Amino acid sequence: MVDALKKVVIDEPASDAKAARRFGLIVIGDEILSGRRQDKHMATLIDLLNERGLSLAWAKYVADDPEQITATLKESFASGDVVFSTGGIGATPDDHTRQCAALALGTKTELHPSAQELIAGRIQSMAEGDPIKSDLNTPENQHRFKMGEFPIGSEIIPNPYNQIPGFRIKEHHFVPGFPVMAAPMMAWCLDTYYKDLFHQENKVEKSFIVPKGIESTLTPLMENIEANFPGVKVFSLPSVGDASKDGVYAQRHIELGIKGNANLLESAWIALRAGTQELGYEIHDIT
**pLDDT tens digit sequence for 242-281:** 877 778 888 999 999 999 888 889 999 999 999 999 999 9
Rounded to 10°, the helix 66-79/97-105 angle is 50
**pLDDT tens digit sequence for 117-140:** 999 999 998 888 888 888 899 999
CA distance 30 to 236: 33
Does 22-193 match 203-285 in CATH topology?
A: no
Contact 101, 73 (CB under 8 A): yes
Whether domain 203-285 has CATH 3.30.70.2520: the reply is: yes
DSSP string, 28-52: E-HHHHHTSS---HHHHHHHHHHHT
pLDDT band at 96 (very low <50, low <70, confident <90, very high): very high
Question: Domains of the chain: which residue ranges?
Answer: 22-193, 203-285
Its pTM stands at 0.80
Whether domain 22-193 has CATH 3.40.980.10: the reply is: yes
